Chains A and B, each alone.
Chain A
Amino acid sequence: MEGGWPLLGPLQWVRYVKKQVKVKVGRNEEVRGWLFTVDPVSASMVLVDFMESEGTLVQVVMGHAVEEVQVLKEPDRKIADRLQSMFLPPRTSILDP
C-alpha cells in the first residue's frame, strides 16, 4: 500500500489487522509492530510490540501521518491469541468462550 491509507475503509483495513507491519510515517521515519486495530474515524493505527521480559509497547500512529504500509509477517497462533485478548476487561477475557 502506498498513499491513501485513510481512504481504504474498514473492509480493506481489516485485511492488515493482526499482521506484523512496517509503516512509513512523516518524513523518513519507520515503525513496526503487530497491527491491533485501525480507528475507522481517524484511520489511526494501533501497533503493539510484545517485549521479551516486561510489558507490551503500544504505538498509535495518526492516520494523517501514515505514508505507506507494508505487511512483514503473518501471526502465529500465540501472537494471534495475545492480540485477540488485548485491552479486554479482565472478566470478559476469562468468561468468553
Chain B
Amino acid sequence: SLSTSAASESDADELQKEQQARSVLRENFLRCLLSAASKNVQFNMYEKVKMEAKFGACDIDVLNFQVSDLHTPIGVQKEALIRSQDVISFTFEI
C-alpha cells in the first residue's frame, strides 16, 4: 500500500542519515586519535591518579591505550598499556 511504502522510504532515509552521522563522528574521532601519536598526553584517571605519557596508539574498540614513558605515581614505566575503563579523560596539545 501507499502508506507502508512511504513509511519504509522514510525509515530508509532515517537509517541513511544515522549512518552518515555515525561515519562523520567516527572518522573525526579516529583522526583525533591518530593526531595524538607521539604527543605528550596527560591522563586523568579514577582514584585521583594523574599521569603523563607519550601516546602510542589505541585499539579500535577504545579499550586500551598503548603508551611509552608512563610517569606513574610510583615511577616511570618504559612501555605500558592503560585500560580505558580506568581513564576519565586525557588531554594533549596540537
Chain A residues proximal to chain B, CB less than 8 Å: 9-11, 13-14, 17, 25-26, 29, 31, 36-42, 44, 46, 54-62, 64-65, 86-88
Contacts and interface: CB of A to CB of B under 8 A. Distances in A.
Interface size classification for chain B: 20 to 34
B32 A58 contact: yes
Contact of B62 (A41, A57, A58): A41
Contact of B60 (A26, A41, A55): A41
B29 A62 contact: no
Q: Which applies to chain B's interface (DSSP): helix, strand, loop or mixed?
A: helix
B62 A39 contact: yes
Contacts of B72: none
Given A11-B18, A38-B25, A39-B26, A88 B31 contact: yes
A30 to B, nearest CB: 11
A45 B81 CA distance: 21
B28 A64 contact: no
15 contacts: A10-B22, A29-B88, A36-B28, A37-B24, A39-B25, A40-B26, A41-B26, A42-B84, A44-B62, A46-B29, A46-B32, A54-B93, A59-B90, A86-B32, A88-B31
B17 interface: yes
Interface of B: 17-18, 21-22, 24-26, 28-29, 31-32, 34-36, 46, 60-62, 84-85, 87-94
A14 B32 contact: no
Q: Chain B CB within 10 Å — which of A25, A86, A87 has the most?
A: A87
Contacts of A57: 91-93
Contacts of B35: 58, 87
Contact of A62 (B25, B36, B87): B87
Contacts of A11: 17-18, 21
B82 to A, nearest CB: 11
